[in-house]
Amino acid sequence: MPLTNEGETGARKQLTAAEAEARMQVLIADRAARAAQAAERASRAAERAAAERAAAARPDFFTPVAGRLTSCFCPRWGTMHWGIDLAAPMMTPIYAVGDAVVTEAGPASGYGNVIYLQHENGDVTVYGHMEVVEVQAGDIVTAGQLIAKVGSRGFSTGPHLHLEVYDGGLRGERVDPIDWLAARGVRI
């Protein structure tokens, strides 16, 4: 039986069952497209929320290496040792202690290989004696990102990470990395 509706002139217009079915398929397809768009928006919103949760859960500061403290920020052998040494097996991963810009990376006398990271507040962390350097000057790194691997390059008595901290930049005061990290929630 044909379906009817009023036309603009008031005359009745009839749709055949096939025409009504075709219009119904358009309606169903339109509804499905709207549902797919809503699902896509919900998926993007869920991805954004997950990324925000992950960013919020990511630590602001990180332990630089899984190692053992073998030398303090203190006088040693008649001279000041301006950093700490953390012994670890060769090729142990070394991580950025915080978000930073790599200002220098590569060979340097005494350190063997060195990495300088400038943090947002201006402080600089210095990593020395690495076997492998995984970053280069200009890179932006995040807390916990792999930047190097433990070595024994330069003036070194065995595989370890030498870590220094300059408060306020390279012209600033050198401070004890243990205290600096502790103030940021990282224990050595």
Q: Are strands 3-6 and 112-119 parallel, antiparallel or unpaired?
A: unpaired
Per-residue pLDDT, averaged over 85-102, amounts to 98
What's the Rg (C-alpha) of the chain? Answer: 31
Output the pLDDT for position 2: 53
Superfamily of domain 68-182: Glucose Permease (Domain IIA) (2.70.70.10)
Whole-prediction pTM: 0.73
Per-residue pLDDT, averaged over 143-161, amounts to 97
Model confidence pLDDT, tens digit, residues 103-146: 999 999 899 999 999 999 999 999 999 999 999 999 999 999 99
Q: What are the extents of the domains in the chain?
A: 3-57, 68-182
Per-residue pLDDT, averaged over 49-55, amounts to 82
Burial class (CB in 10 A: 0-12, 13-18, 19+), 147: buried
Per-residue pLDDT, averaged over 82-106, amounts to 98
Output the pLDDT for position 17: 87
Per-residue pLDDT, averaged over 65-88, amounts to 95
Output the pLDDT for position 85: 98
Kindly state the tokens that stand for 71.
């030398």
With a CB cutoff of 8 Å and minimum separation 6, the contacts of 68 are 86, 87, 88
Confidence of residue 10 (pLDDT cuts 50, 70, 90): low
Kindly state the tokens that stand for 140.
């932006």
